[in-house]
Amino acid sequence: MRFLTKRETVTVGLMLFALFFGAGNMIFPPALGQAAGTHYWQAILGFIVTGVGLPLLGVIAVSLGGGNLQTLAGRVHPVFGVVFTFIVYLSIGPLMAIPRTGTVTFEMGILPFLPEDLMQSQLPLFLTTIAFFAVTYWLAITPSKMVDRIGKILTPLLLAIIALMYVATLFRPIGEIGPPVGGYADSAFVKGFLEGYLTLDALAAMVFGIVVTAAVQDKGVTEPRSVMWSTIKAGMIAAVGLGLVYLSLGYMGATSYSLGQSDNGGQILTAVVKHLFGWSGSIILGAAVTLACLTTSVGLVTACSTFFSAYARGVSYRGMCAILCAFSAAVANVGLTQLIAFSVPVLIAFYPIAIVLMLLTFLHKWFKGYRSVYVVSIFLTALISLVDGAAMLGLPVEAITAVYNKLPLYSQGVGWILPALAGAVIGFLWGLIRPAPIRRIG
């Protein structure tokens, strides 16, 4: 039985960290830090619970489920397994996340350096996205080399840049930490907890868990138990990395009060690096954002190409990589705003379902693998989350939300928690009274 060596485990763990850590993850913690102020530590700990804990649980859940999201979701029903898996891949892939990596790279890594006469032109964005997705394609077409390219090269560069900014903050403090504002004044931990939940990394974890499992197998680890434990160890390394980076970036935001308040984490981070490094700070930040976007883009293209090429007859993995990169480049130029307006409600609708599915995976043996637990719990969760998504789309569901508002925690955006728990209990009791041959799943 072969396991990954310590060096291989660290490399795979760094790759997984980089896949999770996109530009959005870079700008959330500074905004939280500035808004939380003197309540920073409570807020950032809440953020880490959901912004780090849930992604780690997602990776482990996929590993426990055999490294296959469709098999995992199929525990509810085979049809649900196919539909849910497609929704996850489309949502965090070509419909939103992949195109956004190219757009954010342009806006934070290229746009600040353009002369004014080019800032209103579409040509720089077009050229940037073409170059960005060309590099993404080159890195993604050989998945077996992705661990070395990302884990040994891109991730250390990204971490070095973030460490440089953090150390500069320690030795050259920006200013005093300001007072907490909004929800951070009264319930900083809960507010931070909900902010971490909205990063939507739990969905990404269910995809990246498959990527890291494949990376482990490419290293010659093939025995299922060895693959599972190697994946879990790599996931823990990624989680530690994410937690430390969130602490660092959040602290930068917390000490930035004297630079002026802003609800935009990107603006806060830009102000911080300019204060610390002057004009060179824009270069440092641009490099960090570009690396963060690139690693995430490569991971998503790799995962989505692997999945979709298995269903598209006659389209190879490389061909699917080319299709996704070309589509993403086009969307980044002409359709990103409209697609985000549609995609975010979809994510809001299905994110709670993903969380419940992960948690049930960990408890699978405890409730004896009764399918009824999955069915009822997921069904009641979906009754809440799908309506939330419909409301964000502007559909006429006011009558339903008026009833849901009576549910505990609904006004905080997590009204699905108690229905999910009740569904698990009802499903377990139902499983106990059903004939044994038909009530359990593997």
Predicted pLDDT at 320: 96
Instruction: Report the share of the chain in percent with pLDDT over 70.
Output: 91
Predicted pLDDT at 338: 65
Residue listed under structure tokens 């996340």: 97
Tokens standing for residue 302 = 């790799």
Tokens standing for residue 290 = 């570009």
| Greater model confidence, 423 or 142 | 423
- Rounded to whole angstroms, how far apart are CA atoms 271 and 67? 42
Tens-digit pLDDT profile for residues 332-368: 887 556 666 777 687 778 888 988 999 998 898 899 8
Predicted pLDDT at 438: 46
Tens-digit pLDDT profile for residues 212-242: 887 788 788 778 788 888 888 889 999 999 9
Residue listed under structure tokens 């720089």: 124
* Phi, psi (rounded to 5 degrees) for 177: -75, 135
Predicted pLDDT at 429: 93
Residue 436 has pLDDT above 60, yes or no: no
Distance of CA 57 to the CA centre of its chain: 12
Over residues 82-88, the mean pLDDT reads: 91
Closest CA to 351 of 197, 132, 128, 221: 197
Residue 197 has pLDDT above 80, yes or no: no
The packing angle between helices 40-48 and 23-36, to 10°, is: 150
CA distances 261 to 30, 264, 269, 278, Å, are: 11, 9, 12, 19
Residue 198 has pLDDT above 80, yes or no: no
Tokens standing for residue 28 = 């959330």
Residue 439 has pLDDT above 80, yes or no: no
The alpha carbon dihedral of 20, 23, 25, 26 has a sign of positive
* Phi, psi (rounded to 5 degrees) for 352: -60, -35
| Greater model confidence, 28 or 347 | 28
Tens-digit pLDDT profile for residues 368-421: 889 999 999 999 999 999 999 899 888 899 999 999 999 988 887 789 999 999
| Length in residues, the chain | 442
Strand partners, 430: none
Over residues 44-63, the mean pLDDT reads: 89
pTM given for the model: 0.80
Q: Which of 104-113, 146-155, 178-187, 277-286 has the lowest mean pLDDT?
A: 146-155
Predicted pLDDT at 437: 46
Q: Which amino acid is at 380?
A: L
Tell me the pLDDT of the chain averaged across its residues.
85
- Rounded to whole angstroms, how far apart are CA atoms 92 and 279? 34
CB-side exposure of 271: number of CA atoms within 13 Å?
23
- Rounded to whole angstroms, how far apart are CA atoms 188 and 242? 20
- Rounded to whole angstroms, how far apart are CA atoms 180 and 342? 33
Alpha-helix residue ranges (DSSP H) falling in 179-257: 188-197, 201-218, 224-254
Q: Which amino acid is at 102?
A: G
- Rounded to whole angstroms, how far apart are CA atoms 114 and 172? 29
